[in-house]
């Protein structure tokens, strides 16, 4: 899930374009992108889309950002969008671990009501937003609150703007990214990067994406189709990374046969943490079709 494109849930005319895009994932937004008067209409559109063939056959990760637990819309959102084929619910503005557990319980009940088949339909996971000072402080509690949590997503606009922190302050952005990445790592879930509002400033968008990749994020949100190609390129393992990782795994097999605990590949000392990184890179390369399934 390198690239994830936000799509307003009330804009049905954009759905087919989004499904045909090169984005790995689509995040349909019932929250900020939909005005109060159109919330029900947007829910109906989401239910229709998610129960139709076009979404299910798209091969994309399908996510819906619902309205927050404290709003009058949350329960109706969950009942409408938790359909077989939905991969994740994006939970905005969680206040506590109890909030995450409450959301998970609501999803579980909606799965029962909407005919999920145990062992056949994949359970809907949670993508939890980190977009407040409190959420950043308790990020690990949120990430580990329930097994349905798949990842943490940084929301820099909501986190920085109310506090008058300059969005382009790189040290501040780096600090927030690092904190979220460490919290996600402790809970063994993924970390996903924030959106970039200035669509025309592609140079800064790329630089931020590169920073988040260096920090171990798996991808970055896009608010415009023009950003998708940049993200897909940045979060693609380089040919050099893939080749080195293949050599590491080959050397690992050889070392195990010889009973060696540490060994050198391309002039670098290799031990278990480096093997784990190589395994992740090779798995990503296979998923993207950059390596055949049986290589390494």
Please give the average per-residue pLDDT across 25-41, as a whole number.
95
Q: 155 pLDDT band (50/70/90 cuts)?
A: very high
Calculate mean pLDDT across residues 158-180: 96
Q: Give the Cα separation of 13 and 270 in Å (integer).
A: 52
CA distance 179 to 91: 19
Whether residue 48 has pLDDT greater than 60: yes
Q: Tokens 């897909």 label which residue? A: 232
pLDDT of residue 146: 98
Phi-psi region of 260 (alpha: psi -120 to 50; beta: other; left: phi over 0): beta
Q: How far apart are CA 29 and CA 43, in angstroms?
A: 10
170-224 pLDDT, tens digit per residue, is: 999 999 999 999 999 999 999 999 999 999 999 999 999 999 999 999 999 999 9
Q: Where does the chain have alpha helices with state H?
A: 15-20, 39-50, 53-56, 74-81, 97-113, 133-137, 139-143, 156-160, 170-187, 202-214, 228-234, 239-258, 272-287
**Confidence check: pLDDT of 242 > 80:** yes
Torsion sign across C-alpha atoms 284, 49, 7, 41: negative
CATH of 3-234, one of 3.90.580.10, 3.40.50.300, 3.20.20.70, 3.20.20.60: 3.20.20.60
Residue 295 has pLDDT above 60, yes or no: no
Taking the CB of residue 36, how many other CB atoms lie within 10 A of it? 10
What's the rounded Cα separation, in Å, for the pair 199 and 271? 42
Distance CA 180, CA 276 (A): 21
Residue pair 136/179 in contact (Cβ under 8 Å)? The answer is yes
What's the confidence (pLDDT) of residue 296? 53
What digits encode the pLDDT tens for the residues 83-121? 998 999 999 999 999 999 999 999 999 999 999 988 888
pLDDT of residue 267: 87
90/59 Cα distance (integer angstroms): 19
Query: For residues 191 and 206, what is the distance between their CA atoms, to the nearest angstrom?
Result: 18
Q: Where are the domains of the chain?
A: 3-234, 239-287
């Amino acid at each position: 899930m390198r690239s994830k494109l936000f799509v307003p849930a009330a804009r049905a005319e954009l759905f087919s374009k989004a499904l045909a895009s090169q984005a790995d994932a689509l995040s349909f937004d019932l929250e900020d992108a939909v005005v109060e008067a159109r919330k029900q209409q947007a829910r109906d559109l989401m239910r229709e889309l998610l129960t139709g063939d076009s979404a299910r056959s798209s091969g994309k990760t399908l996510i819906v950002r619902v309205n927050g637990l404290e709003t009058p819309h949350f329960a109706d959102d969950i009942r409408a969008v938790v359909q077989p084929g939905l991969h994740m619910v994006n939970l905005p503005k969680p206040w506590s671990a109890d909030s995450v557990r409450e959301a998970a319980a609501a999803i579980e009940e909606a799965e029962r009501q909407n005919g999920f088949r145990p062992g056949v339909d994949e359970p809907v996971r949670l993508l939890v937003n980190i977009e407040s000072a409190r959420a950043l402080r308790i990020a690990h509690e949120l990430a580990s609150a329930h097994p349905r949590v798949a990842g943490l997503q940084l929301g820099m606009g909501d986190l920085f703007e109310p506090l008058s922190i300059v969005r382009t302050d790189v040290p501040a952005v780096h600090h927030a990214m690092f904190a979220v990445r460490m919290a996600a790592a402790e809970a063994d879930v993924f970390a996903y990067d924030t959106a970039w509002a200035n669509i025309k400033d592609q140079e800064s968008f790329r630089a931020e994406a590169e920073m988040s990749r260096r920090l171990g994020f798996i991808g970055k949100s896009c608010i415009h189709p023009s950003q998708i190609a940049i993200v897909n390129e940045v979060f693609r393992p380089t040919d050099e990374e893939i080749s080195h990782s293949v050599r590491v795994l080959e050397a690992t097999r050889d070392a195990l046969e010889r009973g060696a605990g540490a060994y050198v590949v391309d002039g670098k000392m290799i031990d278990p943490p480096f093997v784990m990184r190589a395994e992740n890179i090779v798995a990503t390369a296979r998923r993207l079709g950059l390596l055949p399934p049986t290589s390494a």
